[in-house]
Amino acid sequence: MKKIFVGTAVFMMLLSCAVSFAQEAKQEVSKDQVIAIATEAVKAKGLDLEAVNIVYDEGGQLWSEKIGAATLSDQPNHGILVQGFLKNYKVVYFDYKEPLPDVWVFVDKDTGDVLTVYTEQ
């Protein structure tokens, strides 16, 4: 009987640890972390950050507007915008002053990995 109790206790402890780990794994990367990750990705591309307005795209609203506008125009990068390759991401928009093209950085909201850096054409 004692072995069963100890076995059950160990199982419950392991189950508790697994549940705790799963909850931590589901925690999204914070807004500040996403901005920092995106900024480093843009720097890695060799782009200057002095003449840029960095915008955290809350809920991907700006990106959705951009896709909507692109579907109505004949932009050279029209096909890239329409693909909608991701669903589990956060977006940071680097709004450069003319004549530099704007940049969008997509970051996985769970892992913080940079999924892509998209430069408008």
Tens-digit pLDDT profile for residues 57-109: 988 888 888 876 555 445 444 444 444 445 678 999 999 988 889 999 999 88
* Mean of pLDDT values over 41-64: 91
Looking at the chain, which runs of residues are DSSP E strands?
A: 52-57, 89-96, 103-108, 114-119
Mean pLDDT for the stretch of residues 113-117: 90
Q: Does residue 104 form part of some domain?
A: yes
In a domain, 20, yes or no: no
Residue 45's domain comprises: 28-119
Q: Please check whether residue 83 lies inside any domain of the structure.
A: yes
Q: The tokens of 12 are what? A: 């419950």
Query: Is the pTM higher than 0.85?
Result: no
Q: Of the candidates 29, 27, 50, 53, which has an alpha carbon nearest to the alpha carbon of residue 106?
A: 29
Residue 87 falls inside a structural domain: yes
The two beta strands, 103-108 and 52-57, are unpaired
Tens of pLDDT, residue by residue over 2-17, are 555 444 554 555 555 4
Mean pLDDT of 41-60: 92
pLDDT score recorded for residue 105: 94
